[in-house]
Structure 1
Amino acid sequence: MKNNIQFITLLFASFFSFLSFSPLSYGQENLVLNPSFEDVILDSLSCTLYSSSERFNAAIKHWRNPTNSTSDIHHMSLNHNCSMYPLESFNPAQFLPRTGDAMVGLVLYTEEMPDRDPPLEYKEYVQGELKEPMIQGATYLVQFYAAVGNRCKYFSNNIGIAFLEQPYYQATQSKVNLSPDFNFNEVLRVNEEEKWTLLEFEYTAPTSGIKYFILGNFFGTKDTTYETRDISTLHTDAYYVFDDFSIINLTPSFDPLGPYCSNTDFTLPDTSKEGYTGTWSPQVNNQQTTTYTFTPQDPRFKPTTMTVEIIPPTVELQFDMETSVCKGSDFSLPSMSTDGVEGTWTPAINTQETTTYTFHPTIENPCLKPYSVEIKVLPLVDIALDYYCKDNQLVIEAFSFSEDQQLTYTWYINDQLIDDSAATLGLSSYANLLHPKTTHIEVVALDENGCYSTASIEFEDIQDFCFIPKGISPNGDGKNDFFDIHTFGEVDIQIYNRHGRKVYENNHYTNQWAGQSNSGTILPSATYFYQFITSHGEHYSGWVELTH
């Protein structure tokens, strides 16, 4: 027998006088499912002694026969001629259930069956189920009632219970290969006064998860004490019936508290989850980890302890990181604070929008303050390039669409770095870098936040830019047919004859004049004079020879 059982002190001189004491019954939850065997499948009940474990299992809920033996269910609903009707003449018990309509019957000892090879020491068992697993270290009061069948030939001892984490089954009709967690060693005889005898003991769960128990005789014939009764009967066995099982947790339980930061106020509950009231000692200490003892007001219940962990004061996390980045730039957030706390960040990094990120430590420490940081995503410099003619040279100008930005520029002509950081670039100084066919110009603009953007432009035949023709011959041969100054952009132009009379004007001019007047009349060959103003305010004037 296992050593974690505590016997109840005898109340009277004889063992069975004690066992007839009333059970614990003051509203505590009974963990046994179907404790009095009342929840049965009426249509599946057997009229005669049960012929198989399958028949037993099909007739009752939450109880099982864990072997191939033939445990019985006695029930008052059966026909009075059925041998499993408790008062029928052939019924092994021949008395009523203690409560309700049902009880179970087991053979604890029987005469050896010599016709078996080897001879069979037949025994029967029943397996019950709990509503919830036992708690490791908790003490439980186990109670049930037993009675000797009136028609059995023997009295026996060894009424035992084994507790299990999983349902048990053994294909045998003899002793199971289990040891009882508790065993009643005394021979249980007839209780002449009340017929039923209360058996009870305390059991401390050695592990968590225990949810099943088996009742029966866990010892062989040579280790079982039996006595022959002075009666005439056909039942050559020790047959006992059982009713009203109860398993109650005597140890108060509480939801865990803490850990708490030092100086955090907290209270200990004065009522357990089971409804037991009591007091705690010592007094609450919010400066250091302390183990407290709960003493129930009712001495029938067991004291229990709870340890409340106190941890150092609240820690403010510190990080060394930049809190602003340029839009689209890759960046990462540190996985460890400067004081060594590891963790992760949410949400995922967003390089396009300003986002607030929250740090989640991998260690559970309620004294760590939540830490969040806003990473500001700075807009990129929004720039573009324009070009125009000034002082007879092509000028490239970079400009920003954002106001009040202080920008620094870096220029490249055909991938060659230029030593000029101004917003405008005159190309006459870099004629040696210009290509006769295609010239590529790029600028990089850097703002005060360190964010940059690039813009570029390409020119075909750049040598023709900012060139003003001295003559045109509009004869349709595709050469010098127009006064072409498109490289200056759209300009406001007036053209005069040699008498100073305005013959043509256009305020969106690029290359439309081919020697015609404003009315469309073809002007005669002659020298004409022009003046125009560019969109940048540059004034140009001169002469052009018209030849038909």
Structure 2
Amino acid sequence: MKKLLFLLSIFSLSQTKAQQNLVLNPSFEDTSGPLSCSVYALGQASPIQNWKAGSYASPDFYSSTLALNCHLHPLNPNFANQPPLTGNNYAGIVNEESYYEPQYREYIRGKLSEPLQIGVTYRVQFYICLGNLSTAGSNNIGVKFINDASTLSFNPTIIPLQPELNYSGAPFTDYNNWTLLSFTYSPTVSNLDGFIIGNFFPDDETSFEMLTSTSLRRFYLLIDDVSIFDIQINFNIPNEICQGDELVLPNVSENGVEGIWTPTINNQQTTTYTFTPIDSNLESFEKTIVVNPTLVPDFDEIGPFCDEIPNITELPSISNNGIVGVWSPVFNPNQTGIYTFTPNEELCVEVVTMKVIVDKTPTFDPIEPFCEIDENFSLPSISTNGISGSWSPAFDPYNSQTYTFTRDSGDCMQETTLDVVLYPQLKFEFFSYCNDDTYFVELIANNFSLSEITNIQWLINNSSISETGNKINLSDYSHLLQEVNTIEII
């Protein structure tokens, strides 16, 4: 069957959600007593659980469980002639009967499982159809919310209450199809856990359309599947993110509404997204997510402190670009450390780290110059202050050289050098000769110049003499001479 949708928005809202139906016994299926075969008389009690008359005029309750010849069987052609939308039962009310004076009205009064909440938006809807008893179509199909504990007693005429919701469009005239009548409502008062459906307006404020040639104007309205539910969509989505952060827009809301988001997620700039529910009876939901730029705290480099005491006792609590935060762990001036800066304002400010180097440079004792070749000598691999490493180039026992020490590990990587001096081996010989009965010994240089020698120490048989030149007269030292003599220089 084709179903039309009459939608009256009492409050314009951008957010909707779906929850369980708050109406108790929404399709009139649960009964507390036998159903009547004939139309209900004035003041007759309702056998339908959680439903009753809104005034002294009693509504009718149809059921396909009754005998086919009953007035209130749904398919009786003289009364309703319409099968239930769901289940077996539905209600019927007279919203106009021109034979009655004053103006006759029937109402049905329902009950909610819990009170409506102030400020929450609800969908209020039910299906309607004209019964065959109708001779006219009409509008002014309204809903009045009440506290169910209220004792309301009205004559079978217009209830003097103003409905919160009301269909005031063209007269409803469809005998053949169940049509959804839908409203949205946001309460402004508390303790509303009941409601009344019917026409709350006089005839001169109600539009009618005659559908038969009879002079009787009767509007007999069938009602089924009444529902009231919270339609405010809930999402656990942040209002703001940092640029580049992961953003997930779930396709199912916190309260179970499925739908699709548009446009595509963009975590680089502020965007307004629209969630369109798959259920066309629900309104779309809009969410603007602000994308904030990410700030990086900026600090000047501190150190390195190599062979020096740090000139600070703590790290700065405010960055160069004005971000306030704290460092952890506490600054230690005695060793190299990696410190983490955590901003006080966490939103879109990065946590940064800084390495502060506090270390020593390797030190070595000087190497005494070599006067002789020592092929077994090696440079020390551990400095005097306990730092291990290696030297380059490889040690050369034959030549003077400057060597560079590279440490195995550490933060202060300044080069340490060490000079090793190797004096050359002097090659010479002694020349002895006589001249006028005087015996001389002379030092003859082979690979060096005697001018480079400032002082020669002579030894005769291990006794030092005062001569320092390169030639001596042995006749002057006869007192030191023996049969076999040893002459040396040092």
For the aligned pair, the TM-score class normalised by the smaller chain equals 0.3 to 0.5
Q: TM-score, normalised by structure 1?
A: 0.41
Q: Which has the higher contact order (CA 8 A, sep 6+)?
A: 2
Q: TM-score, normalised by structure 2?
A: 0.46
Max Rg structure: 2
